[in-house]
A and B are shown apart, each in its own frame.
Chain A
Amino acid sequence: MHEFFSWCEATALGETIRGSKWLFPFIESFHLVALVIMGGVVLITHLRLCGWGLSGQPSAQLWKDTWPWFIWSTVVMLSSGILLFFSEAEKLYWHEAFWMKMTSMILALIFTSTVVRRMALKPDAEAPSLLTARLAVAFSLTLWTLVGIGGRWIGYS
């Protein structure tokens, strides 16, 4: 595992980003802009499940309307994240924040695209009880918050 991280850092890609003054911040900016779009979609759909925000709309409709934005922002997040990873893989291997972020990110992605998604896509008549929905949302948002905290924590070393 560690060898793989070292290899990533030693690739031409890793070297180029690390050697440039502007590339890392440039890629990081994309990462942040995608984060905000992703955060917006996650919040608007999760709030709806709790009966807050755009509660006048059928939950399934709101989910279908915003899901493409979630997909695209996730694609930008992952690709920019991978680039950032290559530039400092060695440091990340030893940083507990990185592992915390990756663990919570995988869990958050799975939980949102399975449990939360299924709940949101149900016709409003068959919607789960508000309590169930709010518990699921609280769990999901906790996972996403951990991803954010992990991301910020990586920057402090």
Chain B
Amino acid sequence: MSPLDFCKWLADQPASIALHESILGYPIVEGTHLLTICLFVGLTLMMDLRLLGLTFRATPMSQVTSRLLPWIFGGFVVLVITGLALFYAAPIKSYINPFFRVKVIFLIVAGLNALLFHKGIEQSIKDWDLAPVPPFKARLAGAVSIFSWIVVIICGRLIAYNWFDPIV
């Protein structure tokens, strides 16, 4: 079964059709997805700006991560659930959309970047916790994160345009 076949099968599910055609359900899921971006990406960007030494330089980095991550994680859970629901409502349209594919790629880039940061330079956080401007590797992680999330947001918005919709 190819991914496209899977998407076709998914699109034929009664619940998928129901969500796709719902007058209130779909906008509510989409609106929640959008507003939760402020929580998840908004706070992630704040953390990244601290990594770059661009804001609240007097705050120890470890405090920023430990205090913000629970909120970021909460936002992440909501985004994944609503995001999967949005995909479920329009699997074929999403799958063949180039912006959807770029979005998924940069979601992976952002995830790997966070993992590398955690396994790498964050291990020696004690050495630079109080530094107003963190070391290069930490700044790099912050910059990659900001870039990836901006690409994800822009692509996410552009998926909604019907430029690549299948002709049915």
Contacts and interface: CB of A to CB of B under 8 A. Distances in A.
Chains A and B are bound partners? yes
A132 interface: no
B25 interface: no
Nearest to B44: A40
Interface in B39-92: 39, 41-46, 49, 55-59, 63-64, 67-68, 71
A43 interface: yes
Interface stretch (B5-13, B14-22, B115-123, B149-157): B149-157
Interface in A50-91: 52-57, 61-62, 65-66, 69
A149 B34 CA distance: 9
B27 to A, nearest CB: 6
Please indicate which of the listed interface residues B35, B42, B153 has the most CB atoms of chain A within 10 Å of its own CB: B42
B37 interface: yes
Contacts of B163: 21
B55 A152 contact: no
B140 interface: no
B104 interface: no
A56 B27 contact: no
Contacts of B149: 36
Contacts of B31: 148-149, 152-153
B38 interface: yes
Interface in B121-154: 149-150, 153-154
Interface residues of B, number: 33
Interface string A6-40: 00000000000000010001001100110111111
A33 B151 CA distance: 9
A156 interface: yes
Q: Is the interface of A mostly helix, strand, loop or mixed?
A: helix
Given A43-B43, A54-B63, A65-B55, A29 B38 contact: no
A54 B45 contact: no
B56 A69 contact: no
B71 A54 contact: no
Contact of B41 (A36, A44, A54): A36
Given A29-B158, A43-B38, A37 B45 contact: yes
Given A36-B45, A54-B56, A66-B55, A152 B27 contact: yes
Contacts of A152: 27, 30-31, 34
Interface of B: 27, 30-31, 34-35, 37-39, 41-46, 49, 55-59, 63-64, 67-68, 71, 149-150, 153-154, 157-158, 161, 163
18 contacts: A25-B161, A29-B157, A33-B154, A36-B149, A39-B37, A40-B38, A40-B43, A40-B45, A43-B39, A43-B42, A43-B43, A53-B71, A54-B56, A54-B64, A56-B59, A61-B58, A65-B55, A148-B31
Closest CB pairs A-B (n = 5): A39-B38, A40-B42, A39-B42, A65-B56, A29-B154
